[in-house]
Chains A and B, each alone.
Chain A
Amino acid sequence: MTVGPTAFMALAGVLFCIGLFGALTKKSAVMVLMSLELMTNAVNLNLVAISRFMTPASMAGQFAAAFNIVVAAAEIGLGLALVLALYRLRKTVELDRIDRLKG
């Protein structure tokens, strides 16, 4: 028995929605960033699966996934640096206590 592209796309959809749920619900900034990483991983999995089954010779999706990993690494580095800077200023990483702009 074998599986084709649809199973990988469904798996990536499930992972993406778990990450989306985490990013929307969590109140710790670090947990939100971890959920974002889960969503990025789901997108990368989708890109590689489509590349494997649609353009196996040119590997177009694999290059897209590689550059996506670069951007995601930059994002998590900057995001966690922001969390550290925020912690130094406000002594908290709870997102609902960072409400200075609240009217």
Chain B
Amino acid sequence: MPDSVAVVPFVILAALAVGGGAMMVLTRNVVHAAFWLLEVMMAVAGLFMLLSAGFLALIQMMVYAGAVSVLVLFTVMLTLRRREDAERSLDLSWSAGLIALGVFVAVGAAIASFVPPAVVAPAVTPGVAEFGRALFTERALPFEIASVVLLIALVGAVWWAGGDDR
């Protein structure tokens, strides 16, 4: 496992992610924004592959690019009465921009003063098999709790979004 990753795919994927995020915020059309979000999710999945986290890249594609974007598009289309309602005002504000810029300056200062510790990389990159083995042995309890969380969220979402006839 090398100590660092190649710069060319990183720059391409980072530009795709940042550009897609900026377009999501700056586009007027809600449906277009949903598709820009999908593009950002796919770029982040590529970054996960670059970080040799193949299983997470798979989850990212299935959960975010698959399920979440379809859910967002369904909600957009269920809450629009006319086609023209998808076009919105840009809703930009200086105060929110200042808050986001302030957070970015604080985060940037923290990153600039960060010194990465010297870590000896393992000879073989741990893959999906090692990830799955650890998930079902030492991390079995959080795994089961996660399934309960998902079940409760499923029941709650059906209850809230369900019809009026109850």
Contacts and interface: CB of A to CB of B under 8 A. Distances in A.
Given A11-B14, A18-B22, A37-B64, A59 B134 contact: yes
Interface residues of A, number: 70
Interface string B70-107: 01101110110000000011011100110111011001
A33 B88 contact: no
Interface in A6-21: 6-11, 13-21
A4 B99 contact: no
Q: How large is the interface on B (under 10, 10 to 19, 20 to 34, 35 or more residues)?
A: 35 or more
Interface of B: 1-8, 10, 14, 17-18, 21-22, 24-25, 30, 33-34, 37, 40-41, 44, 47-48, 51-53, 55-56, 59-60, 63-64, 67-68, 71-72, 74-76, 78-79, 88-89, 91-93, 96-97, 99-101, 103-104, 107-108, 111, 114, 116-117, 119, 121-122, 125-126, 130-131, 134-135, 139, 142, 146, 149-150, 152-154, 156-161, 164
Interface in A41-80: 41, 44-45, 48-49, 51-59, 62-63, 65-67, 69-71, 73-78, 80
A21 B96 contact: yes
Nearest to A83: B75
Given A18-B25, A44-B44, A56-B1, A81 B156 contact: yes
A62 B131 contact: yes
Contacts of B63: 69, 73
A13 B14 contact: no
Nearest to A89: B164
Given A30-B30, A38-B21, A84 B75 contact: yes
A65 B44 CA distance: 13
B30 A3 contact: no
16 contacts: A8-B51, A11-B14, A14-B18, A18-B24, A27-B89, A31-B88, A34-B33, A41-B64, A59-B53, A59-B126, A73-B150, A73-B153, A74-B149, A81-B161, A84-B79, A87-B79
B44 A20 contact: no
B56 A65 contact: yes
Contacts of B10: 3, 7-8
Given A22-B24, A70-B150, A73-B63, 16 more contacts: A15-B17, A18-B22, A20-B100, A30-B30, A33-B72, A34-B37, A34-B72, A38-B37, A44-B44, A53-B4, A56-B126, A65-B56, A73-B68, A74-B153, A81-B157, A82-B160
Nearest to A22: B25
